[in-house]
Amino acid sequence: MQLRDNFLWGGSIAAHQCEGAWNVSGKGPAIMDFVTVGSVDHPREITKTIEPHKMYPSHTGIDFYSRYEEDIQLFAEMGFKALRLSIDWSRIFPKGDEETPNEEGLQFYSDVIDTLLKYQIEPIVTLYHFEMPIHLVHAYGSWTNRKVIDFYLHFCEVLFERFKDRVTYWVTFNEMNHIDPQTEATDIFTYIIAGLKFSELENKAQTLATIGYNMTLASCKAIELGHKINPHFKMGCVFGIEPVYPYNCSPDYVMNAFQQMDRDFYQIDAMCHGTFPQYKLAEYQAQGIEIEVTTEDRQAFTNGTLDFIGMNYYGSSVAEFEGTDAEKSKLFGGLANPYLEKSNWGWTIDPVGLRYLLNYTYRKYGLPIMITENGLGAEDVLAEDGSIQDDYRIDYLRQHLIQMKKAIEEDHVDCLGYLMWGPIDLVSATTGEMKKRYGFIHVDKYDDGSGDYHRTKKASFNWYQEVIASNGKCL
Ligand code: BGP
């Protein structure tokens, strides 16, 4: 099988990481507006009040809000066929529970979408990429409360109606699977996804299971609603998944690794099989976790199945097992894999893992997969003449594309497209830094507050342009 002629080459961005303009044109405060800048060694802090000097640079982002035309023009110059972007809930409904949307917010995204279409770039719209109005956390307890599902559906409905003739591809959620009752989560992960600090949750397992269930249900209801409004919509959900390897070949370790990897799939099971998995409910019951599945919920699961699976892929991990004594990798605290290199932020670099995961997921569900994120966070150095030779980035992406092509051409995985993460430098989600850069386009903005947002093409810009022009033949 060859790459499709209409293969969706492009990139992915998220509103809160690039737009800035966090409190203008009617936007309300959202969960990510309360997170400070951190670093690889110091996690971002979650604050109760906004202290702008500490929040930099999230509040200003890369000023995509005023510079989107220039940025989209650069994406078009690279030959992008698609751009995945998120619509910030708090720009449309500042508090989240209003009836009437904020017209200025809708107009902004309407203009962005029109600009993309002008350049024949397919908009792929994420409806929830860590952007929840903070009011929904304070007044309702975030996704623990079923009322929030209704507010989310109202937000979705407004967007589906407004953009039904201009947007075909929708993503209901980004990486809801990082909420897992069986894993010790870090504060930043539960906060990013649901606006709640893990350490402050009273009944951790019950709360996380409820959030996971409610978000899954919300996704299925949004898919059902989208299909009702326009049967041509392609509805997807994005998962941040990774292969989990056993530390050694002892069957106990292998089984344990399988179980850890499998945890990331229960929500995909629900959204593909049309029913919330019985094995998960049984597992919850055994742990004393209560989840009520109503008749209406069952109907929503049946009616709200996915058209495609979105896959965010950065690397793999090694499963921890009782007493495993090995070096740990930094950020996620998992075990280091001696066969793999790591980025400066401790993320493993595992191109073959992408082929493995594409095969694994495709064989499990038989649904088309869109690679919705993949990329290398690295510190770039500006040469004296202002150029950036980011060969390490080219090399990372090339190795991953080689494996993606093997999955498509040799293993016959149906892959809709490849959207690299952060085609333009933007604020890191986990650390809040600008230092951790992914882009083909450099943005003159630094963690000390300096910089004038000027955009410069890196060496990788021309490389990706050629990759797209040759439909992946020239890597
Ligand atoms: C994914 C998120 C993105 C993005 C990416 C890279 O999990 O969906 O929003 O940020 O990770 O992470 P970071 O920005 O921390 O390097």
Q: How many CA atoms lie within 13 A of 409 on its CB side?
A: 10
Q: How confident is the model at residue 328 (pLDDT cuts 50, 70, 90)?
A: low
pLDDT of residue 242: 94
- pLDDT tens, residue by residue, 2-52: 899 999 999 999 999 999 999 999 999 999 999 988 887 787 888 888 887
Q: How confident is the model at residue 462 (pLDDT cuts 50, 70, 90)?
A: very high
Contacts of 40 (CB under 8 A, 6+ apart): 330, 331, 344, 345, 346, 431
Residue 443 reports pLDDT greater than 90 = yes
312: nearest Cα among 402, 223, 420, 217: 420
Are 337 and 245 in contact by the 8 Å Cβ rule? The answer is yes
* Average pLDDT of the residues of the chain: 94
Residue bearing the CA closest to ligand 1, atom 16: 428
Is residue 429 within 8 A of residue 17, CB to CB? The reply is: yes
Q: Is 200 a known active-site residue?
A: no
**What percent of the chain lies above the pLDDT cut of 70?**
97
Q: Compute how many other C-beta atoms are within 10 angstroms of the C-beta atom of residue 31.
A: 24
Does the pLDDT of residue 284 top 90, yes or no? yes
Tens-place pLDDT, residues 412-423 = 999 999 999 999
pLDDT confidence of residue 324: 66
What confidence score (pLDDT) does residue 30 get? 96
In the prediction, which pLDDT does 245 show? 96
421 lines ligand 1 (CB under 6 A): yes
Asked if residue 430 has its Cβ within 6 Å of ligand 1, the reply is yes
Please report which confidence band the pLDDT of residue 182 belongs to, taking 50, 70 and 90 as the band edges: confident
CATH code assigned to 8-469 = 3.20.20.80
pLDDT tens-digit series, residues 113-166? 999 999 999 999 999 999 999 999 999 999 999 999 999 999 999 999 999 999
**Tens-place pLDDT, residues 243-281:** 999 999 999 999 999 999 999 999 999 999 999 999 999
Residue 373: active-site member: yes
Reported as a pLDDT band with limits 50, 70 and 90, residue 54 is confident
In the chain, the percentage of residues whose pLDDT exceeds 90 is 85
CA distance 428 to 437: 8
Q: Is the distance from CB of 394 to CB of 373 less than 8 angstroms? A: no
Test site for ligand 1: of 84, 126, 372, 421, most ligand atoms within 8 A of the Cβ: 421
The residue whose two tokens read 């830094």 is 433
Residue 332, pLDDT > 60, answer no
pTM greater than the 0.95 cutoff: yes
In the chain, what are the domain boundaries? 8-469
Ligand 1 in reach of 240 Cβ (< 6 A): yes
Number of H helices, E strands in the chain: 16, 14
Please give the distance, rounded to the nearest whole angstrom, from the Cα atom of residue 93 to the centre of ligand 1: 24
| Residue type at 333 in one-letter notation | G
Residue 357, pLDDT score: 98
CB 209 within 8 A of CB 183: no
Residue 234 φ/ψ region, left for φ over 0, alpha for ψ in the -120 to 50 degree band, beta for the rest: beta
| Nearest-atom index, ligand 1, CA of 14 | 9
Mean pLDDT of 199-217: 94
Kindly calculate the radius of gyration of the chain based on its CA atoms and give it in whole angstroms.
Answer: 21
112 phi/psi in degrees, rounded to 5? -65, -45
* Pocket flag, ligand 1, residue 373 (CB < 6 Å): yes
Q: Contact at 8 Å (CB) between 383 and 389?
A: yes
Distances (CA, A) of 177 to 211, 216, 263, 428: 10, 9, 8, 19
Cα(291) to ligand 1 centroid in Å equals 30
pLDDT of residue 1: 82
The active-site residue, picked from 131, 224, 373, 433, is 373
CA-to-CA separations, 436 to 39, 119, 408, in angstroms, rounded: 9, 29, 30
Q: In this structure, what are the phi and psi dihedrals at residue 334, rounded to the nearest 5 degrees?
A: -75, 180
Report DSSP letters for 82-149, one per residue.
EEEEE--HHHHSSSS--SS--HHHHHHHHHHHHHHHHTTPEEEEES-SS--BHHHHHHH-GGGSHHHH
Residue 380 reports pLDDT greater than 60: yes
Cα separation, 327 vs 429, whole angstroms:
25
Average pLDDT of span 399-423: 98
Return the exposure string of 291-321: e unless at least 16 CB atoms fall within 10 Å of the residue's CB, then b: beeeeebeebbeebbbbbbbbbbbbbbbbbb
